[in-house]
Amino acid sequence: MVETTSSVTKAESTPKTKHFKSRKRQKKIGKIITYILLIAISIILISPLLWMVFTSLKPMNEIVKYPPTFFPESIEWSNYTTTVNAFPFFHYMKNTLFITFFVVLGNVVSNSFIAYGFAKISFPGKNVLFSLVLATMMVPGFVTMIPQYILFTKLGWVGTYLPLIVPSFFGSAFNIFLMRQFYMSINNELIEAAQIDGANHIYIWSHLMIPLTKPALITIGIQSFNGAWNDFLGPLLYIHDEDMYTLQIGLQTFQNQSTTQWNYLMAGATLVMIPTVLLFFFAQKYFIEGMDLTGGSKG
Partner 1 sequence: MATTSTSKQNKKKRWTKKQKKDAWWGLLFVSPFIIGFLIFMLGPMLFSFIGSFTNYNLTSRMEFIGLANFKRMFTQDELFWKSLYNTAYYVILNVPLTAVGSVLLAVLLNQRMRGISIFRTIFYLPAILSGVAVYVLWMQLLSPTSGLINTVLSWFNIQGPAWLFDPVWTKPALILMKLWSVGGAMLLYLATLQNVPKQLYESAEIDGASSFKRFYHITLPMITPIIFYDVITSTIGAFQIFQEAYVMTDSGKGGPANSLLFYNLHMWNKAFVAFDMGYAMAMSMILFIIVLVLTFVNLKLAPRWVHYS
> Pattern of binders to partner 1 over 218-257, x per CB under 8 A?
--------x--xxxxx--xx----------xx-xx--xx-
Buried b (16+ CB within 10 A) or exposed e, 92-118: bbebbeebbebbbebbbbbbbbbbbbb
Q: How far is the CB of 117 from partner 1 (least distance, A)?
A: 3
Contact between 104 and 228 under an 8 Å Cβ cutoff? The reply is: yes
Cβ neighbourhood burial of 261 (10 Å; 0-12, 13-18, 19+): buried
Binding segment toward partner 1, per CB under 8 A, in 74-82, 86-94, 142-150, 210-218 = 142-150
Nearer to partner 1, 98 or 258 (CB): 258
Q: How far is the CB of 46 from partner 1 (least distance, A)?
A: 6
Interaction between residue 299 and partner 1 (CB under 8 A): no
Cα(112)–Cα(178) distance, integer angstroms: 9
Binding segment toward partner 1, per CB under 8 A, in 73-81, 97-105, 212-220, 291-299 = 291-299
Cα(272)–Cα(274) distance, integer angstroms: 6
Contact between 111 and 173 under an 8 Å Cβ cutoff? The reply is: no
Interaction between residue 177 and partner 1 (CB under 8 A): no
Binding segment toward partner 1, per CB under 8 A, in 75-83, 97-105, 162-170, 211-219 = 162-170
Contact between 249 and 272 under an 8 Å Cβ cutoff? The reply is: no
Q: Could you say which residues in the range 81-140 bind partner 1, by CB under 8 A?
A: 110, 113-114, 116-118, 121-124, 126, 129, 132-133, 136-140
The single-letter code of the amino acid at 211 is P
Interaction between residue 45 and partner 1 (CB under 8 A): yes
Interaction between residue 80 and partner 1 (CB under 8 A): no
Interaction between residue 32 and partner 1 (CB under 8 A): no
Sign of the CA dihedral with 209 first, then 212, 213, and 219 last? positive
The single-letter code of the amino acid at 2 is V
Q: How far is the CB of 78 from partner 1 (least distance, A)?
A: 19
